Amino acid sequence: MANVLVVAELLEGKARKTTLCAVTAAKQIAEGTGGSFDILSIGEGAGAAAEELAGYGAGKVLKAEIAGGYTCEKYAATVAEAGKGYDVLVACASAYGKDLLPRVAAKLGAGVASDISQVHTDGGKLSYTRPMYAGNMFGTVEILSDKQVVTVRQSEFEPAASSGGASPSEDVAVQTDAAADKVEFLGVEVVKSERPDLGDADVVVSGGRALKSADNFTNVIEPLVDALGAAMGASRAACDAGYVAPELQVGQTGKVVAPKLYIAIGISGAIQHLAGMKGSKTIVAINKDKEAPIAQVADYFLVADLFDTVPALTEAVKKL
C-alpha cells in the first residue's frame, strides 16, 4: 500500500496544469497499491490554490504559504518534512519538478525516477517506465529506497478531471533551510501569451532555423499558429539564434509535447528534436529537403519552400 503526496506547481497563485498530470499518476499509484493520495499546495497563494485543488479526490490538501519568488532551497525542507508521512512523492517533470524534487529526495534519502511515462503496480509492487537516450530506449525501474520520489512526463499523463467533493485542507509548517539564505531571487520575466500552453496544446506549430529571423516567425509562423488555435514551438537552432524565446524549444532539452497535430516547418528533425515531439499523433513536415530526417516520423511531408507555402496554408486553414 503506497500513500502518495503530490507536490503542486503554482504559477501566480494558481495551480499549473502540470499539477493535474501529477495527480493522475498519483491516483494510478494509490489505486494500484490500495493506498491514498494527498496534495501539497506550496508557494505564494498556496491557500487559494489549495481550494482549487480540493476537487480532485485527494484525502486532504496540505498548504504551505511561502511568499516571494521560488527557489528550490526555499521549498525543499518544507516539502521533505510534509513528505515524511508518505511512501511516494510525485510532481510533474516540468522545469520546476526537475529542480525541486531531487533536492527533496536527497533530504529524504530517496531514489528518484524522473520523467516517467508509465506507472506499474503489478501485484502491488511499484515500478516505472521512463524514456531514456532522448526517447530511443525505455527503461523500467524500481526504486529501492524506503521512500520513492517520482517526476512524471506531462505529455504521458492526462490532466486529472475534477471529481467534485472537497478535500479538507490542513496547514503545514514552513521549514527553514540554511541553503536558502545563499540564493536571493531577483526577479522573473514571465512570458505572457494568449495561446495555449505548449505542454498541453492540441496543435503545435514549430519553426526552425530556416525561418532566418524573429520577424519571419512573427509574419510567417504566428498567423498559422493563430489560425489553428495552436501553441508555438521551435527548434533549438531557432531559440539559440534568438528568433523566439528559449521556453518554446521542443526536444531533449526543451519541452516534450505530444499533441494531436504537430507541424514542423523548416526543421531538419535532429534526434534531439525528435525526442520532444515524436509522440505526437499526426506529424506534418514542411521542408525543402525531402531527405530531411524529419521524414522518419512525418505522416505528411510537403516538399516546398516554407516562405511560399506557409502563408497559403494559413489562408486555406482560415477558410475551413
Ligand X SMILES: Cc1cc2nc3c(=O)[nH]c(=O)nc-3n(C[C@H](O)[C@H](O)[C@H](O)COP(=O)(O)OP(=O)(O)OC[C@H]3O[C@@H](n4cnc5c(N)ncnc54)[C@H](O)[C@@H]3O)c2cc1C
The residues binding ligand X (CB under 6 A) are 208-210, 235-238, 249-254, 266-268, 270, 272-273, 276, 287-289, 292, 305-307
Query: How far is it, in rounded angstroms, from Cα 125 to Cα 242?
Result: 47
Distances in Å between the Cα of 98 and the Cα atoms of 72, 94, 241 are 10, 6, 26
Rounded to a whole number of angstroms, the minimum distance from the CB of residue 310 to ligand X is: 9
* Spatial separation of the C-alpha atoms in residues 7 and 278, rounded to whole Å: 28
For the bound state, the minimum distance from the C-beta of residue 60 to another protein, rounded and expressed in Å, comes to 27
Interface region with another protein, contact rule CB under 8 A, candidates 47-55, 93-101, 157-165, 212-220: 93-101
Asked if 205 contacts 102 with a C-beta cutoff of 8 angstroms, the reply is no
Cα(97)–Cα(90) distance, rounded to whole angstroms?
A: 9
Q: Which amino acid is at 221?
A: I
In angstroms, what is the minimal distance from the CB of 2 to ligand X?
33
* Residue 103 interacting with another protein (CB under 8 A): yes
Q: Is residue 309 at the binding interface for another protein, with CB under 8 A as the rule?
A: yes
Give, to the nearest 10 degrees, the angle between helix 72-83 and helix 95-108: 50
Residue 228 touches which of ligand X, another protein, none (CB < 5 to 8 A by kind)?
another protein
Q: Which residues contact 241 (CB under 8 A, 6 or more apart)?
A: 209
Residue 267: which of ligand X, another protein, none does it interact with, CB under 5 to 8 A by kind? ligand X
Query: What are 170's strand-pairing partners?
Result: 62
59 or 197: CB nearest another protein: 197
8 Å CB contact between 112 and 101: yes
- Taking the least distance from each CB to another protein, the nearer of 46 and 284 is 284
Neighbours of 96 (CB within 10 A): 23
Binding mask 62-81 for another protein (x = CB under 8 A): -------xxxxx--x-----
Could you say which residues in the range 124-183 bind another protein, by CB under 8 A?
127, 131-145, 178-180, 182-183
> Pick from another protein, ligand X, none: which does 266 bind, CB < 5 to 8 A by kind?
ligand X
Residue 37 binds: one of another protein, ligand X, none (C-beta under 5 to 8 A by kind):
none
The rounded distance, in Å, linking the Cα atoms of 69 and 12 is 10
Q: What residues contact 272, with CB distance under 8 A and at least 6 apart?
A: 134, 236, 251, 252, 253
Contact (Cβ atoms closer than 8 angstroms) between residue 113 and residue 150: yes
Which of 282, 288, 289, 305 is the binder for another protein (CB under 8 A)?
Answer: 282
- Are 37 and 163 within 8 A, CB to CB? no
69 versus 196: smaller Cβ distance to another protein: 69
Block residue for cell numbers 492526462: 158
Closer CB to ligand X, residue 97 or residue 266? Answer: 266
Binding mask 223-242 for another protein (x = CB under 8 A): -----x-------xx-xx--
Grid cell digits, residue 3: 500513500
Size of the site for another protein (CB under 8 A): 94
Report which residue's Cβ sits closest to ligand X. 251
Q: Which is nearer to another protein, 27 or 130 (CB)?
A: 130
